[in-house]
Amino acid sequence: MSWTCGDDCKYECMWVTVGLYLQEGHRVPQFHGKWPFSRFLFMQEPASALASFLNGLANLVMLCRYRTSVPASSPMYHTCVAFAWVSLNAWFWSTVFHTRDTDLTEKMDYFCASAVILHSVYLCCVRTVGLQHPAVASAFRALLLLLLTAHISYLSLIHFDYGYNLAANVGIGLVNVAWWLTWCLRNHRRLPHVRKCMVVVLLLQGLSLLELLDFPPLFWVLDAHAIWHISTIPVYILFFSFLEDDSLYLLKELEAKFKLD
């Protein structure tokens, strides 16, 4: 991925400015809302790009494992597989965005991240309500698609508002966390594997606090955002492990019901 003469000029000027700030004993500034990062090969933010790639790789491995161990007849199979593909797409664009920050890659990173959060809410809806009431899940899916379309349309066609995008994702994320956690607390004694989901929800909330840390990158490579991306790798593995256990449980429950009938 090549860099233009203008991009290289901005990059070199940025480091000249950083050197002058450090020489005078001042705090290193951000440039256009970003800390200065040392490029590695073609990667603009190497630690975050690598961490995003590893998250995507973990998603792909767990998707293959899920499809191998869970029959397609499991009630949650298609919803879980769809969630894995939506997540994989989001990590692909996160990797691209941290490799090269452009207007397009930034938007794709943000929009795909929003899609993951909304799909997690849908996944929770299907698991907690939709299996008994498919019509409710279908209506809720249509609502979420409408919300995502409106969200992307506003940011793309009217105004790309970072504050609004953050507030929208945090709001939906809190709904997601509250819904999953409520269901987990109600079922963790009856279904031991649900404890994996509880750990995932609590860890994601705790790790999200890393985003509140704001410090210049260590060695001009590792910042709080990169650390957050690195820390989510085992969390996503644990979540897919929960989905696998839960899907197999639902399949066993369905087979037992058919035998009784």
- Alpha-carbon distances, residue 63 vs 6, 13, 116, 151, 168 (angstroms): 41, 44, 15, 28, 28
- Are 161 and 155 within 8 A, CB to CB? yes
- Are 177 and 199 within 8 A, CB to CB? no
Q: Which residue shows structure tokens 């705090």?
A: 27
Q: Cα(105)–Cα(144) distance, rounded to whole angstroms? A: 23
Q: What is the pTM of this model?
A: 0.88
- Per-position pLDDT tens, the chain of length 261: 567 776 777 776 776 777 777 777 777 777 766 776 777 777 788 899 999 999 999 999 999 999 999 999 999 999 999 999 999 999 999 999 999 888 899 999 999 999 999 999 999 999 999 999 999 999 999 999 999 999 999 999 998 898 999 899 999 999 999 999 999 999 988 999 999 999 999 998 888 777 767 777 777 778 888 888 999 999 999 999 999 999 999 999 877 776 655
Q: Which residue shows structure tokens 């999200």?
A: 208
In 3-state terms the chain splits into helix, strand, coil percentages (rounded to 5) of 75, 0, 20
Amino acid 62: pLDDT:
96
Amino acid 4: pLDDT:
72
Q: Cα(149)–Cα(137) distance, rounded to whole angstroms? A: 18
Amino acid 260: pLDDT:
56
Amino acid 258: pLDDT:
66
